[in-house]
Structure 1
């Protein structure tokens, strides 16, 4: 067994799309899916960009204000997630700082309360 501390994972800074205080650390990757941890400093921003594939961002700690194609800002916190579809323009901001886990790629997501298992795919 290995224990992964997402708060201390090695990250590299990202400034693309006018991002501010944004860093990313790869945790795992397959031919179809990437699993990364992201961190935003207080007042940070992941600039508006298109999702390369279906993208699920799960907030681990802190706060996030997320928006998609429609531009409507929604605040989410620990235990909540935002999902963007391939090509959807989106951005994320934080007031107090953020640690999140992002799964991007060929991922099937169930409805809330629905358990996805290999028999569903």
Structure 2
């Protein structure tokens, strides 16, 4: 077994789309999806851009103010997630700072937590 400290991995700063206080570190890949950790500093923003594929962002710590195609802001706390569909314009901001897990690609997500059954 290995233990990963997702918030402690070194990241690559990103400033595309007007982003600031944002870095990303990739830690896994499959034929269908990328697994990355994103960090936003307090007051940071991941600028509005289209999702390259279906994108799941799970807030691990801190807060996120996210929006999708409508632009309406939604506040997420640790333990909550946002899902954006391919090509959907979206943005993420954080007032206090954020560490999140992002899975992007060909991922089939349930509409409710009861739709996915485990053996």
Tell me what 2:7 maps to. Answer: 7
- Counterparts in 2 of 1:35-114, with a 5 A limit? 35-114=35-114
Runs of 5+ unmatched residues, structure 1:
none
Q: Which runs of 5+ in 2 are unaligned?
A: none
TM-score of the aligned structures, taking structure 2 as reference length: 0.95
What is the root-mean-square deviation of aligned Cα atoms in Å? 1.4
Could you state the TM-score of these two structures normalised by the residue count of structure 1?
0.94
Count of residue pairs the alignment pairs up: 119
Task: Flag as ranges the 4+ runs of structure 1 deviating above 3 A.
Answer: none
Partners in 1 of 2:31 and 2:117 — Cα distance?
20
Displacement after TM superposition at 1:6 (Å):
1.1
Q: Distance in 2 between matches of 1:7 and 1:92?
A: 17
CA positional deviation for 1:11? 0.6
